[in-house]
Amino acid sequence: MACITTERDGGVLIATLSRGKANALDAETLEALHAVVQRVTEDDEIRALVVASGSPRFFSTGFDVGEVFRYDGNQMRSFFSTFIDVYEGLQAMPKGVVAAVSGHAYAGGAVLALACDWQIMTDAPCGFALNEVDVGVILPPGITRLVVNRLGTGYARQLLLSGEPVSPTDALRIGLVNELAAPDEVLPRAVSRAQCFASKPPAAFAAIKTKLRNLTGDDGSSDRDRLDPFIAQWESAEGRAARQAILEAMQR
């Protein structure tokens, strides 16, 4: 079964994560996501993108712990570089991108949602968390800037230092998401929002996205060029111990 499925709804492409119940991100899934980003960016007939989930309870729980936590520094650099291509590609895409957050969004899954222009989240009980601190990870500057620009330093500090999940109601209140919807309305509402984006004059829409990125301190440089501190922490004794503790807890 494909880890991502796609379908067209007029000028909107719907890309649905379909990797198990939690949509844990492995190398294959990131490569497939990157291919979707490239396709939408380059295809003039596609005017907007919806990133959705085939799971009713999970958007994505982030990286596949069983696979990724065993990576050495070189493997992680390659893997995370593809993740950078995905989240930077979504932000730079000259078209509207909507996240249909149908359930839990943790770590890399939360970053994936935040890289979109608009987030519609289920109002059913679930969590939205940037819990990288719990696994001894230092976020690259681009992700930190994305969170601060979205939330301001106060709420960004709260989420990044605590790693604690917030509820859908709190996610809406602090600005992590734009809308809440009943579970069966998340995807239809996301497609409707994407169709709205697709109806806008494309050159004007793209220019506004670019100006907004420039105003928030995005100078066009890539986190690919700023990965050394991330990899150093990944390879540190502290980072290895944090990951090992999580792997051992999963086996109990």
Reported as a single tens digit per residue, the pLDDT across 122-176 is 999 999 999 999 999 999 999 999 999 999 999 999 999 999 999 999 999 999 9
Domains (ranges, CATH) in the chain? 4-183 (3.90.226.10)
Split at pLDDT 50, 70, 90, the class of 219 is: confident
- Please give the model's pTM, rounded to 2 decimal places: 0.97
- Tell me if 86 sits within 8 A of 62, measured CB to CB: no
Reported as a single tens digit per residue, the pLDDT across 37-46 is 999 999 999 9
What are the backbone angles phi and psi of residue 110, rounded to the nearest 5°?
-70, -40
The side-by-side arrangement of strands in the sheet containing 104-106 is 58-60, 104-106, 128-129
- Picking from 142, 138, 52, the residue whose alpha carbon sits closest to that of residue 103 is 52
Q: Which two tokens stand for residue 218?
A: 């995005």
Q: Which amino acid is at 239?
A: G
Give burial (CB, 10 Å; 0-12/13-18/19+) of 167. Answer: middle
